[in-house]
Structure 1
Amino acid sequence: MKRPPRDSKVDRLVNFRLMRFSYLQIGMIQTLAGFLTWTAVMAQNGFCLDRLFNIRTHWDNKAVENLEDSYGQEWSFHDRKTLERSCHAAFFFAIVVLQWADLLISKTRTNSLVTQGFR
């Protein structure tokens, strides 16, 4: 309430600084975190990064019921698709958590949460 209102002719709601910060910096960090999470879930289930290259034709083929992972374990089509859905969920979850963190960071840039609250 102590700050004067913005001048609508000079101060735009969306400016180049905001676009650069939100899309280039925050967007790239969220994208990298999502792909890192996706890769970690795949590696945790046996598909290391070197095994994932050029595997799409076999991965989506319903006739292939014995696709080997990095540890020699065989995966059926149903199990592969279940793992793929888990990876998509982990990617989405990583981005949502980062957006929550960005919200807290932006709300506490000048005030702390103790003085400002969660409103």
Structure 2
Amino acid sequence: MVQAGVKPNTITYSALITACGRGGEWQRSWDLYREMLGKGLELDLIVCNSVILACGREGQWENAAGVFRRAVREGLKPNCVTFSALITAYGIGGEWQRAADVPQLMQEFGASDASAGRLACPL
């Protein structure tokens, strides 16, 4: 891509990260995410969700949780995809208690309707 004169941006990285994750290449998704950050490109929720999903499918819950924390620090608002991916990461990684805590996180970030006792996101 670079050899062809195309300068990668957040959208390019997002597509690559998603493709690698769907192909079972969580490590490549992780490496692309780190590379993107190293280049100072703007982080967006699509990239974060894609990395959390890729890591989560392989039980790499520590990495998935780290991406979640970074997204929040960067001012991104997690959505239903984010929380679902995080639950998956914890579940596959055998971290059932962390998975059980995610609905509380959802409430903290406004992704649940606490007054009605239900989640605003269909999981």
TM-score surpassing 0.5?
A: no
Superposition TM-score, scaled by structure 1 size: 0.23
Larger radius of gyration: 1
Q: Which has the higher contact order (CA 8 A, sep 6+)?
A: 1
User: Which one has the bigger helix percentage?
Assistant: 2
